[in-house]
Structure 1
Amino acid sequence: MGLDNLPDNSPQTVLGRLDSQTVVSATGGRRQRWWTTPVSLWALVGLVFIAFQIWVYARWIADGGLHSITTGTDHVSAARATLIVGWQVLMVIALVIVTTLVIRDCRRHHTITAVAALYAGSFATAWQDPLFNYRELVMVQSHYAVNLFTWGPYIPGWHGPHPEQQVEAMISGGGLAYFVLIIWIWIPLTAITFAARRYPHLGRIRLYLCGVAAGTLGDYILEWIWLPTGSYASPAAIPVLTFPAGEWYQVPLTFGLIISITLSAPLAVMIHTMRQNGEFSALHGSTMFPDKTRTWMRLLAGTGVINIACLAFMIATNLLTYFGGPIPSSMPSHLWPVPN
């Protein structure tokens, strides 16, 4: 059982509160200062990410970025419009369901769980969405969906093409849609849990590889459900690793593999390990803090962890743009109104 699950009067918890600046190990008597604990260090990382995105958003808003772009929407068919609007409604319903499940889990465990910390942190990764197009067009989002002008130009070094036509679809592609990261984590976590039960002697590396395989397959299936709605498209994919290559609805096979390697599988392994050992490694030391402070420390730490994982995914994705193909000639104007 991890320290987070101990009652307030347990010996370990009492020892951990003997000094406001140190924690005492129940086994070795070793003192550890609170600011050197994993939860404190990861919370600092999370705080830095939050401060940075506030700075980006503030500059974007001050420069008049809070407006939508509707260029290219004149030729959206009734069927396509219904799909885009319907998908946004489904995303809101999914958001409510997932949030309810996460809250119930927290109430059952009487704490901010690791999943909840990562889930809350996923909303603080939405600032990274323009990083897809840091140098080339990796993802374009529908101008017909609820959208805002991209804040990409306000991220240092960002130099994506035609920023005046880039948008953030706040429900169907970016913004609130980043809650789906927790679903991308649940998929490999389910596979890892099953594999560990069936083959108890599997080590972390093999479990990780199992998670990568499941995450890649799961992403490919979900992309085929999401992408045909017309909410977004992936124009700068590597032709030989894309199906069907050259069509606006092409699905890059590399996308699912990269997000599984950098984000979903490693976090799933960490959650699985927590279930065995009692605590998520990045949240160790949170029992040193009073209840209210502990809640914020865990939330900030989760924000730091998932932002680092998401940033790794964005960097890897951008590296592949050096091998990407041209924008498909069939790209609908509501996704990208700039002529090829």
Structure 2
Amino acid sequence: MCDTNVAHMVSSEQRAVGTATGGNQRPVAGRWTGAFIALGAVFALVALVAIARWGLQGPHSVNPGPDEFGGVKLVILRVLEWGQFAAFLVLVGWFVVKPLVERRGLGFDGLFILVSFAMNIWDPLDNYFVFAFQYNAHFLNVGSWGGFIPGWQGPHPELWAVPLGFIFGCYTWSWYAAVRLGSFIYHRLVVARPAWAQWQRYGLVYLAVVVQSAISEIIFIRLEHWTYPTQNSFFVIGHGQYGWPWFNCIIYGMTWMVMVWLRESANQDNGQGLSFVERGIDRYQIGSLQKTTLRFLAIFGFVSAVYILIYFVPFNLIMMNGTPVTDLPSYFPVPWGGR
């Protein structure tokens, strides 16, 4: 889903926090910045504890079983698995490692890429109440840490195959591409339609990211890279292994649209490059590393809350009223068995 216009989008480099602002001027303290930092710290603690408990238990891989999945399908799976991981390395290298090597602060894009990668921790929440989502176990995988997330109710979280190379790359590049695409469209509309209201511009941005989400998901489902083992008949097109929950792109698109708005708030910060959730951090009399850490926590807290509330909550509410798919191949392992 990489767009050929990405290279022409607005610059991703924001001025780093901690640089001189000129005279005694400081950015206006964000009213909610401290709350987002605290929220990010809480989410980070929950994530670290869950991963630590999972790691102490001893991670294991999920067996794909005896059903045939080979030939061209397996080749495509491997190419996309490691191609997306390569995209992750390129993005981290360019937006995170390069500025650090050059002793420059991280801009919003660099921190957003790290936060997008960190969203992997919440991916098991699809199965928080029912076993509603599964990756192909032919990916290099480990059994999920979902069961160690507080309040977990879903059955057999260890059966959920976390595709390490695939999902690390997929989260990072797809979220970043969606946000850059949205920013590109937004800025084009500012020039082409200056009389439009903000809601009109973000309305088109929303439609664009919904289409990106829908197309990419349909492709991955048809390639048998993931499936939905629980389906609500009203909210799915088709049925069984290739059933597509059409509502997914609607709520995922909402999540991405908020991320576009967050990035644009950094672009509009009078040259400071601080997003809505970061403003005011410069008033703290601490070093640049500590400020960058606080910026990460603020963005992580905000993005996690948006992702959980806008996507995972409605997804789970819909899937709790679904029914299991009972004819899945063995490489989509489910608690109730497959074919």
Structure 1 unaligned blocks of 5 or more: 17-22, 26-31
CA contact (8 A) 1:120 1:302 kept: no
Post-superposition Cα deviations, 1:51-71, rounded to whole Å, max 9, x if no partner, equal 11111112212222x111114
1:302 aligns with 2:299: yes
**1:81-100 alignment to 2 at 5 Å?**
81-100=74-93
- Counterpart CA distance in 2 for 1:231 and 1:56 is 26
Q: What is aligned with 2:215?
A: 221
Post-superposition Cα deviations, 1:237-274, rounded to whole Å, max 9, x if no partner, equal 4434433x11413332211110111x210120232243
Post-superposition Cα deviations, 1:42-93, rounded to whole Å, max 9, x if no partner, equal 22221111111111112212222x1111142553223332222222121112
- Counterpart CA distance in 1 for 2:230 and 2:320 is 9
- Counterpart CA distance in 1 for 2:36 and 2:132 is 30
Post-superposition Cα deviations, 1:2-46, rounded to whole Å, max 9, x if no partner, equal 996895261134xx5xxxxxx9x6xxxxxx6xxx75443322221
- Counterpart CA distance in 2 for 1:169 and 1:60 is 16
Q: What is aligned with 1:166?
A: 160
- Counterpart CA distance in 2 for 1:326 and 1:119 is 35
Match of 1:283 among 275, 278, 286: 278
Counterpart of 1:224, as a letter, is: I
Q: What is the Cα deviation at residue 231 of structure 1?
A: 2.2
Q: What is aligned with 2:24?
A: 12
Q: What is the Cα deviation at residue 167 of structure 1?
A: 1.9
Q: What is the Cα deviation at residue 119 of structure 1?
A: 1.6
1:314 aligns with 2:312: yes
State the identity as a percent.
18
Q: 1:46 to 1:73 in 2, by over 3 A?
A: farther
**1:108-123 alignment to 2 at 5 Å?**
110-123=104-117
Count of residues in correspondence between the two structures: 316
Q: What is the Cα deviation at residue 100 of structure 1?
A: 3.8
Q: What is the Cα deviation at residue 206 of structure 1?
A: 2.4
- Counterpart CA distance in 2 for 1:54 and 1:176 is 20
Match of 1:152 among 126, 146, 149: 146
1:255 aligns with 2:233: no
Counterpart of 2:22, as a letter, is: S
- Counterpart CA distance in 1 for 2:20 and 2:325 is 59
- Counterpart CA distance in 2 for 1:101 and 1:70 is 36
Q: 1:7 to 1:76 in 2, by over 3 A?
A: closer
- Counterpart CA distance in 2 for 1:200 and 1:118 is 28
Post-superposition Cα deviations, 1:276-307, rounded to whole Å, max 9, x if no partner, equal 34331111012224322222121222211221
Secondary structure in 1 matching 2:162: strand
Counterpart of 1:97, as a letter, is: V
**1:191-202 alignment to 2 at 5 Å?**
191-202=185-196
Larger deviation: 74-83 or 252-261? 74-83
Question: Which TM-score applies when normalising by structure 2?
Answer: 0.82
- Counterpart CA distance in 1 for 2:138 and 2:65 is 8
1:270 aligns with 2:270: no
Q: 1:126 to 1:5 in 2, by over 3 A?
A: closer
Post-superposition Cα deviations, 1:138-157, rounded to whole Å, max 9, x if no partner, equal 21012111111111221222
Counterpart of 1:266, as a letter, is: V
CA contact (8 A) 1:112 1:299 kept: no
1:137 aligns with 2:131: yes
- Counterpart CA distance in 2 for 1:335 and 1:145 is 11
- Counterpart CA distance in 1 for 2:137 and 2:177 is 25
Post-superposition Cα deviations, 1:194-240, rounded to whole Å, max 9, x if no partner, equal 22222123333223322221111111121233333322112334434
Q: 1:41 to 1:59 in 2, by over 3 A?
A: same
Secondary structure in 1 matching 2:125: helix
Structure 2 unaligned blocks of 5 or more: 1-13
Q: What is aligned with 1:327?
A: 325
Q: 1:281 to 1:257 in 2, by over 3 A?
A: same
Q: 1:315 to 1:98 in 2, by over 3 A?
A: same
RMSD: 2.9
Secondary structure in 2 matching 1:168: strand
Q: 1:235 to 1:193 in 2, by over 3 A?
A: farther
